[in-house]
Amino acid sequence: MIEMKNPSIESTASHVKSIGDIWTEHIQVASAMHTITAGIAAAVEMIGASLDGGGKLLIAGNGGSAGDAQHIAAELTGRFMRERRALPALALHGNVSALTAIGNDYGYDEVFARELSAHARTGDVLLAISTSGNSPNILRAIEAAHERGLLVIGLTGESGGKMNAACDLCLRVPSKTTARIQEMHITIGHAICQLIEARL
């Protein structure tokens, strides 16, 4: 049990209401996710077909989305729920020296595209994550991926931003709130990992 020292009744009540509002909004967004279930299933097939053919999953995102990129890559290279072979997945920002060198020498818009050009091969898949769908370095990575014959899956928010037209498949979480979008992104990532394992 958490021991609190002289909490203000008013502030505690305010926090409780705010937390309740967060849960309510989260549940509302989660309840609306059925609208993109078929798209998530399509993403599983795209990634699974790539892995079956010797390809890999490359993942790009900024900030919290970078955290999601690493999280998803870790679930695939390690394991999610089942013991199975390691699956090739790479978060493109993972090498800090490369990230900062590319940002310094070529500009931050190129950090993912340059890494992708080093690692991508035809048949790979790029999972591009941006809550707004308008991050310049993500859009540039999508462009670089298409130049190299990759399929691109986007994870975005309600509008999809510029990514909506740029991706082969764009999964748009039905929310305009960044935190709620990010919560659904990692849930989508977990669903993809679970279903990828199930098809092995």
Residue 104 is part of a domain; what is its CATH number? 3.40.50.10490
Query: pLDDT tens for residues 137-189?
Result: 999 999 999 999 999 999 999 999 999 999 999 999 999 999 999 999 999 99
Question: Is residue 13 situated within a structural domain?
Answer: no
Question: Is residue 164 situated within a structural domain?
Answer: yes
Q: How many domains does the chain have?
A: 1
Question: Is residue 171 situated within a structural domain?
Answer: yes
Torsion region of 115: left, alpha or beta (phi above 0 gives left; psi -120 to 50 gives alpha):
alpha
Q: Is 144 helix (H, G, I), strand (E, B) or coil?
A: helix
Query: pLDDT tens for residues 86-117?
Result: 999 999 999 999 999 999 999 999 999 999 99
**Which residue has better confidence, 62 or 6?**
62
Question: Is residue 16 situated within a structural domain?
Answer: no
Two tokens at 142?
């999508």
Nearest one of 67, 39, 37, 43 to 125, comparing CA atoms? 43
Question: Is residue 130 situated within a structural domain?
Answer: yes
Rounded to 5°, angle at Cα 65 from 59 and 66: 60
Question: Is residue 160 situated within a structural domain?
Answer: yes
Domain that holds residue 63: 36-198
**Rounded to two decimals, what is the model's pTM?**
0.92
Question: Is residue 28 situated within a structural domain?
Answer: no
Question: Is residue 22 situated within a structural domain?
Answer: no
For the CA atoms of 135, 161, 34, 142, what is the dihedral angle to 10 degrees? -50
Contact by Cβ (8 Å): 154, 128: yes
Q: What strand order describes the sheet that includes 57-61?
A: 89-91, 57-61, 125-129, 151-156, 169-172
